[in-house]
Amino acid sequence: MSSYLRQKYQAGKYILQKEGLLPLVTEVIRLLRKCVFVHERYFMYEMPLNEPMKYEAAPKIPGFVFEIVPTNQRLNELAALGFDFGIHGIRAQEKLDKGALMFCIFIGKELASIHWAAVNQEAANTLVNGIVYRKGLSNNEAYLGWSVTNPRYRRLGLSIYLSSEKQRLLKAMGKTTLRWMTEKGNLASRKLTIKTGGMIYAEARYLKILWWKSWKEKPAIQQADSPNLSRRPE
């Protein structure tokens, strides 16, 4: 069994044990639909790291634990100490094997927020479909992957804190530019991007029909009257 299928099997088993049959069926249907048809639209962002960070703030909750997880060995060590990664621990294995970096905040031993970053093309491909960066990331670029916050701990500044820590570490690693993408309908992520200084450089469309895939980008058009968007100056 390939690592991909093994991960899907383990994730399905976890969902069945922890959440029940209906959530498992819902997840299987979602995956099957994505095998047949996908149509998504994105904003593409970039951020230079040679400027001071635009926004920094500590989480609005005491006693949080911040961890950077660079390997599966560290993931297993934290799990042995009682830190509960839930299903994200299963889904993290391949990403960590390829060199992706996982940034986490725990409240007690519960995972409250998780962010991903990649400093090479192989790791970036585990965070986003490889068709996105056909030319690959240059040596001075890093890619920021998806993030998620437990609904119980939203609006506490966890994502702002993790975004700042990602910038700090990646800059120390010699990276000068961050790149990432956000679905157009994800207003929460877009607002976070504005706070942290991200600038739109392109709009993109991803279309998949069975085995056929298409990725198209076009330069972002200035819309100064839109309060929800931050765009790179011309």
Task: Convert the pLDDT of each residue in 143-157 to its tens digit.
Answer: 998 888 999 998 898
**Closest alpha carbon to 6 in 99, 100, 90, 102:** 90
**Apex 171 CA angle, 169 and 173, nearest 5:** 70
Residue 227 has pLDDT above 50, yes or no: no
Q: Which of 5-14, 43-52, 99-108, 176-185 has the lowest mean pLDDT?
A: 5-14
pLDDT of residue 89: 77
Which superfamily, per CATH, for 44-197? Answer: Gcn5-related N-acetyltransferase (GNAT) (3.40.630.30)
Which residues, 6+ apart, have CB-to-CB distance to 13 below 8 Å?
A: none
Task: Convert the pLDDT of each residue in 28-43 to its tens digit.
Answer: 787 788 888 989 999 9
Q: Which residue has the tokens 């010699």?
A: 174
Provide the residue ranges of all domains of the chain, joining segments of one domain with +. 44-197
Distances (CA, A) of 111 to 1, 104, 228: 29, 7, 29
Task: Report how far residue 45's alpha carbon sits from residue 27's, in angstroms, rounded to the nearest whole number.
Answer: 29
pLDDT band at 231 (very low <50, low <70, confident <90, very high): very low
pLDDT of residue 71: 96
